[in-house]
Chain A
Amino acid sequence: MAYRHVVGPRTHAFADLATLMAKATPVRSGDRLAGIAAGSAEENAAARWCLAEVPLAEILARPLIPYEADDVTRLILDTHDAAAFAEISHLTVGDFREFLLTAAPETLARIAPGITPEIAAAVSKIMRNQDLISVARKCRVVTRFRNTIGLPGTLAVRLQPNHPTDDAQGITAAILDGLAYGCGDAVIGINPASDSVQAIGDLLQLLDAVIQRHAIPTQACVLTHVTTTLAAMERGLPVDLVFQSIAGTEKANASFGVTLSMLKEAHAAASALKRGTIGDNCMYFETGQGSALSADAHHGIDQQTLEARAYAVARPFRPLLVNTVVGFIGPEYLYDGKEIIRAGLEDHFCGKLMGVPLGVDVCYTNHAEADQDDMDTLLTLLGAAGCTYIMGVPGADDVMLNYQSTSFHDSLYLREVLGLRRAPEFEAWLHGLGLTDGAGALIQGAETPLLSSAPGLAA
């Protein structure tokens, strides 16, 4: 079915819903690369007018990828909560934007299971950055494993102590550095250089030992392929969280070597270990706009909508953490600071609206037109939006993955200017150790207990 919008003497026609949504998306390099971006600023604006008039029920009724052709579409429709949707089923996309701006947090939590990724993406396309921030801020998604993540007024940090050769001492040194800055409540998560089960096992044991030695109320993860983590669990290695990169189409997931049944198997195996002390959210997913196009698996759908579909892949597994790695993929998908900032806010909004605990890896690569100032801007906006967690990378420089993310210092900055606290169990642990005062502020030079308890390393 075609969509039309008339602007003065010109009629803008859009062949189908996928085309309309692509043309309505704030322009970015990835959609241009795919040949589906709006051809002019007016076409972009006309598509938004047109999209605003589309009923949500119509979006639900017209899957962008056919049910028979894609297991992500099947997952979205088979798990759709019609009762939750009933409350918004009479609205158009334009009405829905106003509904969201007006809604109370309880309402947003109630409708979340009824919101498909296509609905979230559609409304985001007609929202300004401030809309994305103010609505996301009202969404509450709380998850638990060994601490409580996502409470209002909190921000968690993934401590990311990567090392280019997985050197145990180097990784431990970076972990201690991060802990000394009060980071690590979301997870202590290593991106390994190696994908051998042997090497992954060594890292899992290292993380488990650090957490046990200091009795840290947090969880560990080695971010390797789900099949490798399954193999590690079969060998009896200490796996807290199962990690996997995921995308919004079956074919894109296939390019990652992952299927929904693999994820189910891994989720069941990790759940059975019962390593969480206060909750059982044991999955960690990463996503990012452009991955489906990169795998030639985009079906003519814009990259922001496909990204929201990745959150639908994550949602049934009740993950502890999901983050978009927003600027990692490179300038062919998000060209510069402006595109990265917009995408980060969209991703965070769509994830939260769908009830997914979204954090953001606020980041860029050295071949993108972006720098630290752009990251400061996005970081601050996400703090205002109630982002679940950010990355903590020493000095913002990931020496293993070769990109720039946010630093331990950045988290301190955000806490200071926005008054954000850590996960309560983690904050209590820091205070008990004497690292922070009663308000959660770091005490200068107080990291000694942490250092003196690693004598083998520091000697």
Chain B
Amino acid sequence: MTDGVGDNRAIWARLAGLTPARIGLGRAGSGLPTRAVLRFGLDHAQARDAVHAPLEAAALAGRIADLGFPTLTVASQAPDRATYLRRPDLGRRLAAEDRVALQGEADGADLAVVVADGLSARAVHENAAPVLAAFGTHAGKAGWTLAPVVIARQARVALGDDIGQALGVRAVAVLIGERPGLSSPDSLGIYLTVGPRPGRSDAERNCISNVRSAGLAPDLAAFKLAWLLARALSLGLTGVTLKDESDRALAARGPARPLPDADGTSD
């Protein structure tokens, strides 16, 4: 038990199990213990590597097709990773030939889902298909029409505006790899925008962040996306004026959301 006054070490170990944050590390003087310094260095190395890993578009398209969604693959105007990192403007614009191809598919659907590499292809590889699988059920119940799922390379969030406009959809949801964290190289973000067109500002989007197995579970993220989309389509807007109150619907629907993995990243 941990009620002994002198047994702080056990209490810290217990507290550390409640969060993936790096707590209870101890100290050496004012500094970190050696093990914590080395652990940090290794995690930083892995996150750096995640930024530069390429999107496996063909394999991803196969998995999404297996879920019953037709797919298209496009690229932004950023030709490579080095350019992508320095030139976000190029990552927000569709390659010209891909815009023409998407315009050929335009059929006025309610929603286009874009699966984009962003800053972590790993996040997309691990989480995009589970979100789509769960979201498909909600979309079916709501009767929404969906454009083909667009897989996008070297993409920023706003590429969805260009894609959504080319496809002529009412709304676009961009599933994109977030900047890798030291403890979360696998985090997916979802950005919903009604009336997509180039020039939309970030205040006109709703965001669901930290979608991953140890964060917001993919099926809960899909529920939130469906909740937001239903309101967005009926109100005709997204952004700061559309408040995410899906937690209430979730609480009414069933048990509270689960705690994150108790072991977190501590070892």
Listed in ascending order, the chain A residues whose CB lies under 8 Å from chain B are: 29, 33, 161-165, 167, 169-174, 176-177, 181, 193-199, 225, 227-228, 231, 254-257, 294-296, 330-332, 335, 365-367, 371-372, 393-404, 407, 409, 412-413, 415-416, 445, 447-448, 451-452, 455, 457-459
Contact = CB atoms under 8 A, between A and B. Distances in A.
B202 to A, nearest CB: 6
B110 to A, nearest CB: 24
Contacts of A254: 201, 203
B44 A371 contact: yes
A177 B243 contact: no
Given A164-B214, A170-B21, A194-B244, A404 B182 contact: yes
A255 B203 CA distance: 5
A174 B19 contact: yes
Interface string B204-240: 0000011000111000000000000000000000011
B230 to A, nearest CB: 16
A196 B215 contact: no
Interface stretch (B68-76, B135-143, B145-153, B173-181): B173-181
B23 A256 contact: no
Contact of A397 (B40, B48, B86, B241): B40
A295 B21 contact: no
Contacts, number: 197
B259 A174 contact: no
B179 A330 contact: yes
B267 interface: no
A403 B179 contact: yes
24 contacts: A165-B216, A167-B18, A167-B259, A176-B15, A181-B27, A193-B210, A195-B244, A228-B243, A257-B239, A294-B88, A296-B199, A332-B86, A365-B179, A367-B179, A395-B21, A395-B32, A397-B181, A397-B182, A397-B183, A399-B21, A402-B181, A402-B182, A409-B27, A445-B6
Contacts of A161: 21
Contact of B181 (A231, A403, A412, A413): A403
A167 B239 CA distance: 25
B40 A396 contact: yes
Contacts of B22: 394-397, 407
A263 B245 CA distance: 23
A448 B195 CA distance: 55
A402 B85 contact: no
Contact of A197 (B47, B85, B243): B243
Interface in B18-35: 18-25, 27, 29-32
A399 B181 contact: yes
B203 to A, nearest CB: 4
B27 to A, nearest CB: 6
A47 B15 CA distance: 55
Contacts of A195: 243-244
B97 interface: no
A366 B210 contact: no
Nearest to A330: B179
A366 to B, nearest CB: 4
B215 A164 contact: yes
A223 to B, nearest CB: 14
B77 to A, nearest CB: 14
Given A163-B21, A445-B8, A416 B180 contact: no
B51 A367 contact: yes
Q: Which 7 A-B pairs have the closest CB atoms?
A: A395-B22, A402-B181, A170-B19, A257-B240, A257-B203, A412-B30, A177-B23
Contacts of B88: 33, 294, 332
A281 B27 CA distance: 34
A371 B203 CA distance: 31
Interface string B239-261: 11101111110000000010110
Contacts of B21: 161-163, 170, 173-174, 177, 393-395, 397, 399
Contacts of A255: 201-203
Given A177-B15, A397-B43, A409-B32, A164 B20 contact: yes
A298 to B, nearest CB: 12
Contact of B23 (A174, A194, A412, A448): A174
Contacts of A396: 22, 40
Contacts of A169: 18-19, 259
A174 B260 CA distance: 15
B179 A402 contact: yes
B14 interface: yes
A457 B12 CA distance: 11
Contact of A331 (B47, B86, B182, B244): B86
B15 A457 contact: yes
Given A33-B88, A194-B247, A367-B180, 7 more contacts: A164-B214, A173-B21, A227-B240, A231-B243, A372-B41, A396-B40, A455-B3
A257 B245 CA distance: 18
A357 to B, nearest CB: 25
A332 B87 contact: yes
A400 B181 CA distance: 8
A179 to B, nearest CB: 11
B59 interface: no
Contacts of B203: 254-257
B11 A458 contact: yes
Contact of A33 (B51, B87, B201): B87
B85 A331 contact: yes
A161 B51 CA distance: 25
Nearest to A168: B18
B30 A177 contact: no
A198 to B, nearest CB: 5
Contacts of A448: 5, 8
A367 B41 CA distance: 15
